[in-house]
Chain A
């Protein structure tokens, strides 16, 4: 008798759950509210030293300095390839005369 009561209660719960999920399928209520956010901005400059000015002038508008400063130790050849990609593919407006100073700065980075 007791078992049957439990079974009945379980069945009721099951029916209720099924009904609920059927309702949510038939008339799903989901509203999407307009969203507006404010993003933090990054004023971090490249660490001072030879070439820092040219880095700040050329490499700060599209991405944070951290993108550069958190890279592992890379070779001059790797950095040269990255600067070329930034200019040729991602169209970074870097003047030809600034390129050597940028590569010098990057090749001297010594991440810990």
Chain B
């Protein structure tokens, strides 16, 4: 441990990233315990300004709900979407990328052409169309993110495998008659996890941004569930009179995403020094 504290990997970036991410995750996960009964409608306490009453440090919204309690409760949606969508994309993308890189053939073509299409079809535009058909919901938002993002992983893994399969340890395993399946799972997979983990961290951050944009536009999660994007959409109506309703949920998104980006950046420096996942 003390060796880690002295190493070049230990940096301000790491402390800030880890602190923000863990702190926010903790507050969000335990929000119902930290703020019992808060966030309920209380028409006697409408639009209290922040820092006025100790019971409502971030003030209250037009329905008298405590903004701080709602910000922490609303984070649950973002964290869920960010995490689940990335895990889904990784499972599909890594599997397809491994097969495409190792066996080439049709999967290789699928990956490369899908990547072209993904690049040409901005997520928000695709989302507008698809959500218009299937309607906005938590599950649909997650599925949509997976559909539009697995390709990134497939492409990254494919490129890695193409380089790795020419290396001696893979050639040796092949010469010894190790089954292809075992080569892929035991020799290739562990060697390409670094860049995948870096991309995952940055992607959770990015997906939280995309989810909140969709919900803000009324295309994402059900507006009755507290979520950061949804709170910001509501807050716009009261921007002139109650700035705090719009400021705090956005600040929560900013800090969460910043924490993850800092961690991702630090991970990239540590795990992927050649910058294969540079964006």
Q: Do A and B bind each other?
A: no
Seen from chain A, the residues whose Cβ lies within 8 Å of a Cβ on chain B are none
Seen from chain B, the residues whose Cβ lies within 8 Å of a Cβ on chain A are none
